[in-house]
Amino acid sequence: MTRSLDAALVWFRRDLRADDQAALYHALKVARRVWCLFVLDREILDPLLARGLGADRRVEFIVDSLAELDAQLAALAPGARLIVQHGPATQVVPRLARALHVQAVYANHDDDPAALTRDARVRGALADAGIAFHTSKDHVVFERSELLTTGGPPYSVFTPYKKAWLARLEPFYLQAYPVARYADALAPLPEGLAGGPPTLTAIGFQPTNLHALRLPTGSSGAQTLLADFLQRIDDYAATRDFPAVKGPSYLSVHVRFGTVSIRRLAREAHARMQAGSPGAAAWLGELIWRDFFHQVLHHHPHVAAGAFRPAFDAIRWEHGKHADDAFAAWCAGRTGYPLVDAAMAQINQTGYMHNRLRMVAASFLVKDLGIDWRRGEAWFADHLIDHDLAANNGGWQWAASTGCDAQPWFRIFNPQTQSRRFDPQGRFIRRYLPQLAALPDALIHAPWLASEADLAAAGVTLGTDYPRPIVDHDSARAKTLARYGAVKDLSSS
């Protein structure tokens, strides 16, 4: 076949796989020699180190997955390797592109505001050198303005968006890019450039408990989890809300870093949905939520810093030492509400939190403690291994009732009710709060209601082994209703 370019560079970002990778496919089709690059971007990593996050499961997941990506490229073409550089991407990409004398750099879209700013700087530097910069859709099924309302504006309510998404879906949108067919263009590693990722310590980070958690990394890890989930997917709708049950796919971190193609996942779910699986339909709905939040971020980038509906920015949140102490208790899982505290223990110990519990924990911070949702969003951003700005922001704004298609502000989760409903035997609570393990099922959701005799029998001393509630839910609910109700224009929201 005839290729129009002599050389191209593929810049991997949130797409750490060689299979069904849009940017890699497009580069291989048009260039006779193609090199592949990943940048351990110091403009992202250095702030983590500055905040004391030198042991970060995300960084370890990436480094592990890069090793597998390197091996995948080598398997596709003799001598092909992944070039890994540690430095500011805005400098590394243009410098390497010039050094390799490529005519174009290929990458996939990233609509996070900071990423758009980064890409604009890279595009400008490449243009100054006469090098083109091409980007493609890869991390969602439908993006940006592909789905709009009849009148033209983007969707701000999920249900009609989902209906439009399903109506628009055709096999074309889920087809895999046949990378292997054009892999002969992968070029050997240039002399003087090291292949493969550095060690964690070489970039200033330390190992975490990632391997002890047995979370499989790379594309092979994604395949292992997907194969397991497809055996359980029919039950997903019935099991997904119960944190003590193996209901979720556990693929979220792989979706975040692109070690599995979103097209593959949607293809699997859609086929099973059409075959009548309610679980597959529910899971596909979650993938559609992800697309929805990404298009919200694209069309309304102000949500990264404030409420989707600006009227909610006028809410007066708790502040000062009392709020700081309450926030610290929430972060540490010391609120006195077992389901909330178990959820926080889960994220602290594993970097993951069950989706139902993300809603419960977020609602508690905002509507029981009266703390600005942005503080919780930022904390999740630092601690979730699967953190994705669009989804995290969308979830927090849903819980805080400040976003599009959000939970109405006057509906407030009761943490005790959520606990009894979704962890009725207290299995999840016992796993993460072993100090409460001996309490009977009826009392484990609200230890402060237990008698002294029951507490003594379970070996629990409130205030010592486990904290008393830091807030009374009923009083907090009344305060939250007043807080939201005092803001002009919210009554009609």
Which tokens hold the place of 122?
A: 């890279």
Catalytic residue, candidates 43, 146, 317, 379: 317
- Between CA 432 and CA 324 the distance in angstroms is 24
Residue 165 falls in the annotated catalytic set: no
Which of the following is catalytic: 43, 143, 146, 286?
A: 286
Q: How far is CA 335 from CA 244, 345, 364, in A?
A: 21, 11, 10
- What are the counts of helices (DSSP H) followed by strands (DSSP E) for the chain? 22, 5
DSSP state of 278: H
In this structure, the strands spanning 31-41 and 5-12 are parallel
- Clarify whether 283 is annotated catalytic: no
Residue with tokens 């379970």: 458
Please confirm, yes or no, whether 289 is among the known catalytic residues: yes
Q: State the residue for tokens 């994705």.
A: 388
Distance CA(93)–CA(90), nearest Å, equals: 6
Catalytic residue, chosen from 373, 392, 393, 398, is 373
Give me 451's structure tokens.
């008698």
- The residue annotated as part of the active site, out of 143, 146, 348, 355, is 355
Catalytic residue of the set 330, 396, 398, 409: 396
| Placement of tokens 């930022």 in the chain | 378
| Helix ranges, 244-277 (H) | 252-257, 262-274
Indicate the DSSP class of residue 365. I
Strands of the sheet containing 31-41, edge to edge, are 82-87, 31-41, 5-12, 104-108, 132-136
Question: Given 11, 165, 283, 289, which residue is catalytic?
Answer: 289
Q: Which residue has the tokens 């006779």?
A: 32
Q: What's the rounded Cα separation, in Å, for the pair 366 and 374?
A: 9
Write the CB contacts of 370 (distance below 8 Å, at least 6 apart in sequence). Answer: 317, 318, 323, 476, 479, 480, 483
Q: Report the half-sphere exposure of 457 (CA within 13 A, side-chain side).
A: 10
Which residues are within 8 A (CB) of 184 and not within 5 positions of it... i.e. 6 or more apart?
A: 77
Contact between 156 and 164 (Cβ < 8 Å): no
Note if 355 is an active site residue.
Answer: yes
Strands 132-136 and 31-41, by their bridges, are: unpaired
DSSP SS3 for 32: strand
Provide the residue type at 437 as one letter.
Answer: A
* Cβ contacts of 473-482, under 8 Å, gap ≥ 24: 473/337, 473/368, 473/414, 473/415, 473/416, 476/367, 476/368, 476/369, 476/370, 477/367, 477/368, 477/412, 477/414, 479/370, 480/366, 480/367, 480/368, 480/370, 480/412, 481/410, 481/412
Return the active site residues.
Answer: 286, 289, 317, 355, 373, 396
